[in-house]
Amino acid sequence: MALLILLVLYMIYESYIKKRREKESTYVTREALICLNCRYVIEKDFEPGDFIGLIKDTCPRCGGKMKIKGIYGVEVRI
């Protein structure tokens, strides 16, 4: 009887672990901008219409033009 209870408890524990492992991670899209003048790099959120290589925004350090160096998803933990 004790063995049966142990078995049931183990199965519940295992399904809980499995569920936690399978919990889907969520991602936000970020982009890295590099200054064409002083090579300063900033990271910010993706905006619709952006693509790699697009010239946008000005550098906060020297006021030069910035280019999107990369766009990628970063995992967020809640």
Partner 1 sequence: MSSTDLSTLLQVAWLIIFILIITGLYQRIQLKLWILNIKIRLNTIKSIFEEDKIRVKNMLRNMGLATSEVLLTRLLDFFTIEPVSIEPTDIIKRMDHLLRLTENSIKKLVEEALPNIGKNERSLVESTISIVAAIGLIYKIVRHYIIQGEREENYILIMQLTYLMPQILKITKIYHEALDAFMYGKPIGDGVGPLVAYMLAEKCNVTSKRVIDDTSVLEAVYKDRKLIIVKAEGPGSNVGHPGAVINRIVEELNGNVNLILTIDAALKLEGEDSGSIAEGVGAAIGDPGPEKIAIERAASKYNIPLRALVIKMDLREALTVIRKKIYESCEAAVSYIDRIIEESTTKGSTIIIAGIGNTMGIPG
Footprint on this chain of Zn ion (rule: CB under 5 A): 35, 37-38, 40, 59, 61-62, 64
**Contact assessment for residue 19 and residue 65, using Cβ atoms and an 8 Å cutoff:** no
Sign of CA dihedral 52, 39, 58, 42: positive
For the bound state, the minimum distance from the C-beta of residue 57 to partner 1, rounded and expressed in Å, comes to 17
Q: Judged by CB under 8 A, does residue 52 bind partner 1?
A: yes
- Binding-site string for partner 1 from residue 20 to residue 49, where x marks contact by CB under 8 A and - marks none: ----x--x-xx---------------x-xx
3-state secondary structure (DSSP) of residue 62: coil
Do 30 and 45 touch, CB atoms closer than 8 A?
yes
By the criterion CB under 8 A, which residues form the site for partner 1?
Answer: 24, 27, 29-30, 46, 48-54, 70-75
